[in-house]
Amino acid sequence: MAAVSFAHHPQALEWVPRAHGVDALARRLHAGTVAISEAEAPGKDGYVRNSWGFWGPYAGSEVALGILGADPMPVPGPRLETTALMTTPRPWQ
């Protein structure tokens, strides 16, 4: 998605923001070649440096808000509103 977004932005749909990851893949995208197997590998030259991807930043804010518990694996936190999750309209449905 990042490569497609890079190649077609802003010609296609100006109101659609660039895909997550375009900046991280910029060097490869400007060169015109993206080897997915290399880009997806965690590390210095990959899209993400951590083998857990972006789990830390995303989970950290949810733990701080109390939506998730502080366990290593995702568990409901003390402020999670289960009813809101079950009744919120989902645009993809």
Q: What is the pLDDT of residues 39-87, one digit of tens each?
A: 777 777 666 777 766 677 778 889 999 999 988 888 999 999 888 777 7
Would the CA dihedral through 84, 17, 36, 62 be positive or negative?
negative
Structure tokens at 17: 């923001």
Q: How far apart are CA 36 and CA 20, in angstroms?
A: 15
Place of tokens 């830390």: 56
Dihedral Cα 52, 58, 64, 68, nearest 10 deg:
-70
Place of tokens 């995702």: 74
Q: For 6-17, write each residue's pLDDT tens digit.
A: 777 666 556 667
Q: Where are the domains of the chain?
A: 2-39, 55-87
Dihedral Cα 86, 54, 69, 64, nearest 10 deg:
-100
